[in-house]
Amino acid sequence: MDAMTDTNAIERRSLHLELVERIRPLIVESQLNPGDKVPEKVLCERFGVSRTPMREALKVLAAEGLVRLEPNRGAWVTLVTVEEVEEVFPVLGALEALSGELACTNIADAEISHIRRLHDQMMDSYRDRNLVDYFKTNQEIHRAILLAAKNQSLTNTCQALSARMQRARYAANLSEERWADAVAEHEQIIRSLEARNGRELGQILRQHMKNKQESVLKWLRKTNTDQESECAGPGQQC
């Protein structure tokens, strides 16, 4: 394989992965709604790409559980179900706990300083009641701890499952009480990490994910109840 061919191969791969990074937030932030057909042609025009990298990107998103592919019918945004949340979150909790334990063993001082800066940035967003920036920085903190564990198999598995639940976590708007509790939990997380107390950090992260699960389930059940009420109204059909 000559140098020119090699370079082209990398560019094609980078393009579809870049598309994944562009489309995923559209799903997470419900700009593409659950149950909707993914408008491939519109997205191709929006991002200035052909159908080939778009379809490769959709395959990646399907592997993450964000879309489902149907032969000859295209891609559809998947629904988040109570059953899926109850199945995935306990696994995520165990993986995050393990990442915390390993991170405390393997993390470098510079990485701890970086996570502390992210934490302080997240606290600024909390004080400003900027939920969008808060959520973004929150995810960066969890990813930084995961990467600090320095275990690629753990990283790959955790990120794949986290992507499936990310939009539910984003959509389940926090109550003031739950938001305050989540911030308090993150204060415990940063203290345990700086102390390199792996056992304690693992326990906190597991409980943190359990609390997130309860928040998401509360939102999801309320959403389902509201939809059922609408369908039961006069002249309504669902």
Instruction: Indicate the CATH number for domain 3-77.
Output: 1.10.10.10
Fold designation for 82-218 = Four Helix Bundle (Hemerythrin (Met), subunit A) (1.20.120)
Q: Give the angle 178-141-201 at the CA atoms, nearest 5°.
A: 75
Residue 14 pLDDT? 78
Over the stretch 21-70, which tens digit does the pLDDT of each residue have?
899 888 887 788 888 999 999 999 999 999 999 999 999 999 888 899 99
Provide the pLDDT for residue 61: 92
pLDDT at 232: 52
Q: Residue 32 contacts by C-beta under 8 Å, 6 or more apart in sequence?
A: 23, 26, 38, 77
Burial class (CB in 10 A: 0-12, 13-18, 19+), 131: middle
What residues contact 221, with CB distance under 8 A and at least 6 apart? Answer: 82
Given this model, what pLDDT does residue 226 score? 54
Question: Average per-residue pLDDT in the chain?
Answer: 87
Enumerate the CATH 1.10.10.10 domain ranges in the chain, comma separated: 3-77
pLDDT on residue 168: 77
Which amino acid is residue 133, in one-letter code? D
- Residue 119 near residue 145 (C-beta atoms within 8 A): no
Return residue ranges of the chain for CATH 1.20.120.530: 82-218
Q: How far apart are CA 144 and CA 142, in angstroms?
A: 5
Report pLDDT for 139: 92
Mean pLDDT for back-to-back runs of 10 residues, the chain (238 residues): 44 76 86 90 94 93 89 90 92 97 98 98 96 91 97 93 79 79 96 98 97 89 62 52
pLDDT attached to residue 234: 52
HEC string of the chain equals CCHHHHHHHHHHHHHHHHHHHHHHHHHHCCCCCCCCECCHHHHHHHHCCCHHHHHHHHHHHHHCCCEEEECCCEEEECCCCHHHHHHHHHHHHHHHHHHHHHHHHHCCHHHHHHHHHHHHHHHHHHHCCCHHHHHHHHHHHHHHHHHHCCCHHHHHHHHHHHHHHHHHHHHCCCCHHHHHHHHHHHHHHHHHHHCCCHHHHHHHHHHHHHHHHHHHHHHHHHHHHHHHHHHCCCCCCC
Closest CA to 79 of 228, 229, 230, 223: 223
* pTM, 2 dp: 0.77
